[in-house]
Structure 1
């Protein structure tokens, strides 16, 4: 059983919820400024990293490529879920417009920050 499957089973979270928590945790715990900058760029523009960047950043962060790729792959889906109250179905263009709106972007980022704090508490409880 992979480490992700074990963590999902132990936590009782859905794949999407776990992906959000892992991504947020990685974002807060990036040890390198360039890694933090990249993660912010992905968050604001929905550009996913290249395979080489995944390898490099998973090494910088000290996590497996499986965990890192999984958490990045859930980012767009989670942004769509966070903004679902605004529109039923969001196209990529709709999502870019929403993220370009300062007020909406701040709400989304604040929601993500809240999830980060929840993950810190959650990860301490799991030990």
Structure 2
């Protein structure tokens, strides 16, 4: 798991990771996921992720690298314009700079609004 944190970040994910991810994984007798936290100034997230994935690809020349990108699913078509398109920038950067061993997996992420019953 890769997490980009701004320089003024609170480390909240690092604090809850052991109880919310590591312990349940151990209890389920599953491999415990490793958390990698990268600091980034000014909330730039795209380039640090691209650099990290390309570094992993370079260090593992015999492996395929899967990158799971959440894709925000909106209820109305016009809401797509309101949210940034980081997932597209990441995918384009990784596919154009990688060595053809990077696979992009898009996962729908549904935001529920309590007032709409969803």
TM-score category, normalised to shorter length: under 0.3
TM superposition score normalised by structure 2: 0.28
- Which of the two has higher C-alpha Rg? 2
In terms of fraction of residues, the more helix-rich structure is 1
In terms of fraction of residues, the more strand-rich structure is 2
